[in-house]
Amino acid sequence: MLKKSFLLVLFMTLMGTVVSLGAQEPASSVVSTLFTAGNDTSIGGTQVLPQIAASPLSSVGNDIEIGGPHTLYATYAKYNDTITLKAAGYAQLDDATTVTCPVGGGSCLIEFDQFVEIGSSATDNRWAICSQLDGVFVSAPNCPYQGYADFGGNYFYKVGSSFQFAGSVSPGTHTVQTFVNSDYGLAVGGWSLKYQVYQP
C-alpha cells in the first residue's frame, strides 16, 4: 500500500499536482524545496554582489522628457555577423548612419535599439553598449553596464541589448552610431541595430 501511495504521489507530482491528505498543492511548491536553481555555491548564506559603476560615462547628463505620444517617421536597420576584435575603451561598432528629422514637424525623438553578441576570456571585464548622436554619447539613459563579458575565464559568447533615446532633436540631418565599451577589450560576433526617428 505504501508503495502504491508513493507511486501515486510521484505520478501526480509529474502531472502538476501533489495529493496530500485530500489537499492539493501546485507541484512547484514541492519542487522548490527539492531543487536549487543555477550553480549556487551556498544555500541560505549571504551572497554579496561586486559593486561596479552604473555606466562607463561618468557624468549624469541631461534628463530628457520622453513621455507623450510620438509618430514613427523612419526606421534605419542594419546587422553584421562577422567576428571582430575590439580594443578596450570605446570601440566603434558600425559606421555612422545619417538619419533625417523632417522639417516642419517640430523636434524629433530618436530611439536606439541594439542587440550585440560578445565574448571575452579576461576576468572582471565590464562591458556596455553606447549610442552616439552627432558624435555625442546619448544620456537617456547613460549606457549602463551589461555586466561582465567573461564566463569564469572561459571564452564564450553571450548577447546583450540596449535601448536609448535622444529627445528634442532639431529638424534636419543627423548621424547616429553605436559603440561598445569594455575594460580589457572583447570579441564582437553578430549584432543588429535599429535607429528609429519619431515626430511629436
Q: Check residues 115 and 65 and name the one with the higher pLDDT.
A: 115
Query: What's the whole-number mean pLDDT along residues 67-81?
Result: 89
Taking residues 136-140, report their average pLDDT.
89
- What DSSP designation does 149 have? S
How much is the average pLDDT of 181-196? 94
CATH class of 71-199: mainly beta
Q: How far apart are CA 53 and CA 51, in angstroms?
A: 7
What are the domain boundaries of the chain? 2-34, 71-199
pLDDT tens column, 1-37: 444 443 333 334 334 433 333 333 333 333 332 223 3
**Is 142's pLDDT higher than 90?**
no
Q: Residue 105's pLDDT band (boundaries 50, 70, 90)?
A: confident
Name the β-bridge partners of 37.
none
Cα separation, 134 vs 155, whole angstroms:
34
| Residues ≥6 apart with Cβ < 8 Å to 195 | 75, 76, 77, 97, 99, 110, 111, 112, 113, 176
Q: How many CB atoms lie within 10 A of CB 72?
A: 11
pLDDT in tens, 49-61: 344 455 555 444 5
* Res 24: pLDDT: 37
- The C-alpha cell at 191 is 549584432
Give me 65's grid cell: 522628457
* Predicted local confidence at residue 94, as pLDDT: 96
Integer CA distances (angstroms), 11 to 129, 143, 197, in order = 48, 50, 55
**H-helix or E-strand spanning residue 74:** strand 71-80
Q: Is residue 149's pLDDT more than 60? A: yes
Write down the pLDDT at residue 56.
Answer: 59
As a whole number of angstroms, the distance between CA 72 and CA 38 comes to 41
